[in-house]
Amino acid sequence: MKIENLLNSIFSDTNYDIKDIIEKKLIEYNLSKTKALKLLNIDKDVFDEILNGTAKQPNLIQIIKIAEFLGFEVSKFINVLLKNQCSENIFAIDNARKATFIVKNFDVKALTKLGFFDSNYSTEDLVKKVLDYFGYTTINEFEKQLDDPLYSRVKKNHSDKMKDFWIKSAFQTFKIINNPNRYNRERLKDIIIKIKPYSQDVINGLLTVCKALYNIGVSVIFQNYLATTQVRGATFIINGKPCIVITDFNKNYPTLWFTLLHELHHVLFDFETIERYNYHLSDDNDLYLIEEQANNFARDFFMSEEKFHYIKKYINNPYLVIKFANEIEVHQSIVYSFFIWYQKELYGKNYYGAFKKFFPDYNDAITKLNPITWNEISIRDASEKIKSVLELN
């Protein structure tokens, strides 16, 4: 017997007239109420309190006795009793139901630390915050979404509540955006080969690329990174269309571009695999081989190992680095970023932080795209802003 089923039952549409059921049963057995209670060894006042829903802590043995007498399964009889509770008991049951909903689906401590919840929130406040954010009016309405095929994998494979929260937020955003454009794979290939020069425009480059992708049925959003998830980005297939999420993982401008190309590789070459699973999280271990291929694609796209060996001799000359970056049509920070990665990968040398002054503020690249933060009141409002930016005039 699942406790959530019992808690939900009080709010279902099925109703029973328990007094009518008892009267019929007494007639069937040809017994008076007094005689029946004597046989059951239940005090009349206790019996009435249980049936009227006024008993504060009804005895389970007595409930089983009554259920047996009436011919009910115990779980079904409890459902009947739940329907007949006094207002005080219904409030307590409802509060328990809400608390169960919150702790089952959300990491309250982590989300409070993140600022999504306030530390002073009551159970009622927690539920309201969640429903307002995801755009639902009742717990039942929210829970129905979990039966959607899109969410089936969330429930099956992810026990991490913060990761589930991140995924649900992305799903809801894409469903609201509902890109009306048909996905065109051939046009996507044409766009990809033209992407690199846009990395040189910190303010408008990503915005321009994301608008172009949206116009061919590929939706790209930016959603804040959650420290416990280790998710740099993700690719979803929703209604047959690719949807990409990029996070501010590493809070690094080159990483935004690397992640975008990584996810676009998934769209181009792993579409059917991801569609079968509904989504793929970058750095998720269940599709490891796909990850390696996508990483290699993005890395070679921006700066191959051959180019690294060329520029490493001149890396401490900013003028030559800028010249080289212009030649390969990327922002100079991408050259430095891949130099750091190759040094670590090939030689075990750590240059982390050595060229920080050449890295622009990544916020400048994503601000106009209205990234989803955990301070949003409503995903719907945030999604509508994103959609208005992505739609071409």
**In this structure, which long-range contacts are made by residues 145-151, counting pairs with CB atoms below 8 Å and at least 24 apart in sequence?**
149/278, 150/238, 150/278, 150/279
Q: Is residue 18 part of a domain?
A: yes
Which of residues 27, 62, 89 is at a domain's end? 89
Q: Give the domain range for residue 61.
A: 3-89
Give the sheet arrangement for strand 219-222, strand by strand.
219-222, 241-246, 233-238, 279-281
CATH code of the domain in which 69 resides? 1.10.260
Q: Is residue 181 part of a domain?
A: no
Amino acid residing at 141: E
Continuous segment of H or E residues that includes residue 221 = strand 219-222
Which of residues 89, 121, 136 is at a domain's end? 89
pLDDT tens, the chain, 393 aa long:
454 555 555 545 456 677 888 888 889 889 898 998 898 898 888 888 887 777 777 788 888 888 888 888 887 787 777 777 766 777 777 888 899 999 989 999 999 999 999 999 999 999 999 999 999 999 988 887 765 555 545 444 445 889 889 999 999 999 999 999 999 999 999 999 999 999 999 999 999 999 999 999 999 999 998 877 788 899 999 999 999 999 988 899 999 999 999 999 999 999 998 998 889 998 656 565 678 899 999 999 999 999 999 999 999 999 999 999 999 999 999 999 999 999 999 999 999 888 999 999 999 999 999 999 998 899 999 999 999 999 965
**pLDDT value at residue 5:** 57
d(Cα 93, Cα 136) in Å, to the nearest integer? 21
Q: At what angle do helices 33-40 and 18-29 cross, to 10 degrees?
A: 90
- The half-sphere exposure of 263 on its side-chain side, counting CA atoms within 13 A, is 29
* 3-state secondary structure (DSSP) of residue 56: coil
Which of residues 62, 89, 116 is at a domain's end? 89
Q: Is residue 348 part of a domain?
A: yes
C-alpha closest to that of 108 among 99, 117, 100: 117
Specify the number of domains making up the chain. Answer: 2
How far is CA 34 from each of CA 49, 90, 109, 119, rounded to the nearest angstrom?
15, 29, 53, 53
The total number of residues written for the chain in this structure: 393
Q: Is residue 310 part of a domain?
A: yes
Q: Is residue 356 part of a domain?
A: yes
**pLDDT value at residue 1:** 42
Q: Is residue 315 part of a domain?
A: yes
Q: Is residue 297 part of a domain?
A: no
Q: Is residue 17 part of a domain?
A: yes
